[in-house]
Amino acid sequence: MKGKYLQKSFIWLLLISLPFTVFSQSAEFTIQDIKFKSQGITLAGSILKPKNPFAAVVIVHGSDPVKREMDFAKRIAREGIAVLTYDKRGVGESGGVYVGPFVGTNNIDTTNLNLLSRDANEAAITLQKYLKDKKTPIGLVGFSQAGWIIPISASRNKQIQFMILFSGPTITTLEQLRFQFYTNGNNNFWENHTEADAQEHTKNDPDKYQFIATDPKVNLDILPIPGLWIFGEQDIQIPVKLCIDQLNTFKAKGKAYEYVLFPALGHNTAFDSNTTPFDISIQWVKQKFLNINKFKEPK
């Protein structure tokens, strides 16, 4: 399977609680700790703002109980992009309850994904209020589970003008769950299985998971904004080839959806020691909003 699906052309491809803010500054950007309301609870986060940002993003979490992604946010802010990153619901300084895998209810059920999408929307609304130029384009950047959350958020919020998804699925939550249990966390899975094996299991495994599936294609089909997906071909959490097939279907319909596939990477495309996926995402945003047309194909 290695290398078969690598594209040659990569990318030419609420209330803000101001009294609770904490303010600091670096030579490149300011950092402001903030709190905002979402669905009856208070979420805590930080806004990193360059002097004259040309774009702004909200970082949307994956499925883990993670606090605000400060290191990742600083990397983005150094590129001239304002960032809001926040502690996930029920984690760190944020209120509410974190819904973990199979704790009470599955964290990829429709109710939880919709709730997290509303948190992301409130974060986007909050970020815009802190921007000096209200016309600054705002996007959503997320990891893994955010592949379901971001399309829901973007379809509900016209402020969202672009999206970047690191290892974000474009297939249903049920299909992803089938695939994940099939690979069973085996890092050597692709040494012993073919793409045909994986697709057969993902599409046809008997249903034994009791929850309502979320299909991101419903929202991706109506969204008018550009999107970039970054995948690792060795991923054992999501069926990458099926996701790419779906993106190609959308591209054929005229959607401004692009993707990059890295044959040697797995699910952790955003935080791998190879910084090329991150660099590509930044250059893509600059290409969209700074009219930078030159792009170096990753080696």
Taking only the tens of pLDDT, the chain with its 299 residues reads: 333 333 333 333 322 222 333 334 455 899 999 999 999 999 999 999 999 999 999 999 999 999 999 999 999 999 999 999 999 999 999 999 998 765 444 788 899 999 999 999 999 999 999 999 989 999 999 999 999 999 999 999 999 999 999 999 999 998 998 898 889 888 899 988 888 888 887 877 666 666 778 999 999 999 999 999 999 999 999 999 999 999 999 999 999 999 999 999 999 999 989 999 999 999 999 999 986 544 444 44
Claim: this prediction has a pTM higher than 0.75: yes
Q: Which CATH class is domain 18-288?
A: alpha beta
Residue 97 token pair:
């309850």
What are the backbone dihedrals phi and psi of residue 146, each rounded to the nearest 5 degrees, phi first? -60, -15
- What's at 228, amino acid-wise? L
Would you kindly state where each structural domain of the chain is located, as residue ranges? Answer: 18-288
